[in-house]
Structure 1
Amino acid sequence: MLARLMAITIKEFWAILRDPRARIILIMPPLIQLFVLGFATTLEVKNIAVGIYDRDGGRWSIEMTQRIAGSPNVVAILPISSPEEMRQAIDRQQTIAVVSFAQGFSADVAAGRPAVVQAIFDGRKSNAAQIVLGYLNTIVADLGAELSATPARTGAIVNHWFNPNLLYLWFTMPGLVVIITTISGLGLTAQAVARERELGTFDQLMVSPLRVPEILIGKVIPPVLVGFINATIYMVLISTLFGVPLTGSVPFFYISLLLYLLALAGVGLLVSSLSQTQQQAFLGMFLVAVPAILLSGYASPVDNMPGWLRILAQGDPTKHFLIVSEGVFLKDMTVPDLWANTWPLAVIAIVTLGVSSALFRARME
Structure 2
Amino acid sequence: MWRQVLALIVKELLAVLKDTKSRFVLIGPPLIQLIVFGYAATFDLNHVPVAIYNADTSVASRDLVARFIGSPSFIEVATLHSERRIKHLINARQVAMVLVIDRRFTRDLYLHRPAPVQLIVDGRNSNTALLILGYANTIISDFDASWIAAHGGQPPMAVLDQRAWYNPALLSRWFVVPGIVALLTQVVTLLVVGLSVAREREAGTFDQLLMTPMRQIDILLGKGLPGLLIGTVEASVVILAAVWWFAVPLRGSLPALYFGLMLFVTAVTGIGLMISSLAATQQQALLGAFLFMVPSIILSGFATPIANMPTPVQDLTLLNPMRYFLIIARSVFLERADMHSLLPQYWPMGLIAAFSLAAAGWLFRKRVY
Instruction: Name the TM-score, length of structure 2 as normaliser.
Output: 0.94
Look up the match of 1:63. Answer: 63
Counterpart of 2:248, as a letter, is V
- Contact 2:184-2:235 within 8 A present in 1 as well: no
How far off is 1:153 after superposition? 4.6
> Which deviates more, 92-101 or 219-228?
92-101
Match of 2:184 among 180, 187, 192: 180
- Contact 1:69-1:77 within 8 A present in 2 as well: no
Counterpart of 1:316, as a letter, is N
Q: Superposition pairs for residues 269-308 of structure 1, below 5 Å?
A: 269-308=273-312
The 1-side partners of 2:223 and 2:22 are apart by 13
Instruction: Give 5+ residue unaligned stretches, structure 1.
Output: none
Look up the match of 1:109. Answer: 109
How far off is 1:262 after superposition? 0.7
Deviation track 1:200-231 (CA, whole Å, cap 9, x = no partner) reads 22211222221110111011111111111111
The 1-side partners of 2:166 and 2:341 are apart by 16
- Contact 1:296-1:319 within 8 A present in 2 as well: yes
SS of 2:342 mapped into structure 1: helix
How far off is 1:287 after superposition? 1.1
Q: CA distance change for structure 1 residues 242 and 186 in 2, over 3 Å: closer, same or farther?
A: same
- Contact 1:295-1:302 within 8 A present in 2 as well: yes
SS of 1:335 mapped into structure 2: coil
Deviation track 1:255-286 (CA, whole Å, cap 9, x = no partner) reads 11111101001111111222222112112111
Match of 2:211 among 195, 207, 210: 207
How far off is 1:28 after superposition? 4.0
Instruction: Name the TM-score, length of structure 1 as normaliser.
Output: 0.95
Counterpart of 1:89, as a letter, is L
- Contact 1:292-1:318 within 8 A present in 2 as well: yes
SS of 1:84 mapped into structure 2: coil
- Contact 2:188-2:231 within 8 A present in 1 as well: yes
How far off is 1:248 after superposition? 1.0
SS of 1:99 mapped into structure 2: strand
The 1-side partners of 2:351 and 2:20 are apart by 33
The 1-side partners of 2:73 and 2:119 are apart by 17
Look up the match of 1:76. Answer: 76
- Contact 1:186-1:267 within 8 A present in 2 as well: yes
- Contact 2:217-2:361 within 8 A present in 1 as well: yes
Match of 1:343 among 324, 344, 347: 347
Q: Superposition pairs for residues 225-264 of structure 1, below 5 Å?
A: 225-264=229-268
Q: CA distance change for structure 1 residues 63 and 91 in 2, over 3 Å: closer, same or farther?
A: same
- Contact 2:112-2:154 within 8 A present in 1 as well: no
Say whether residues 1:160 and 2:177 are aligned partners: no
Sequence identity of aligned pairs in percent?
40
How far off is 1:19 after superposition? 4.8
Q: CA distance change for structure 1 residues 19 and 272 in 2, over 3 Å: closer, same or farther?
A: farther
How far off is 1:20 after superposition? 5.5
Q: Superposition pairs for residues 36-55 of structure 1, below 5 Å?
A: 36-55=36-55
> Which deviates more, 90-99 or 178-187?
90-99
How far off is 1:138 after superposition? 0.6
How many residue pairs end up in the alignment?
Answer: 365
> Which deviates more, 260-269 or 332-341?
332-341
Q: Superposition pairs for residues 136-147 of structure 1, below 5 Å?
A: 136-147=136-147
Deviation track 1:105-155 (CA, whole Å, cap 9, x = no partner) reads 222222112222112222334333322211111111111223342334543
How far off is 1:21 after superposition? 5.4
How far off is 1:330 after superposition? 0.9
Deviation track 1:159-178 (CA, whole Å, cap 9, x = no partner) reads 21111111222111111111
- Contact 2:278-2:367 within 8 A present in 1 as well: no
- Contact 2:5-2:221 within 8 A present in 1 as well: yes
The 2-side partners of 1:123 and 1:201 are apart by 59
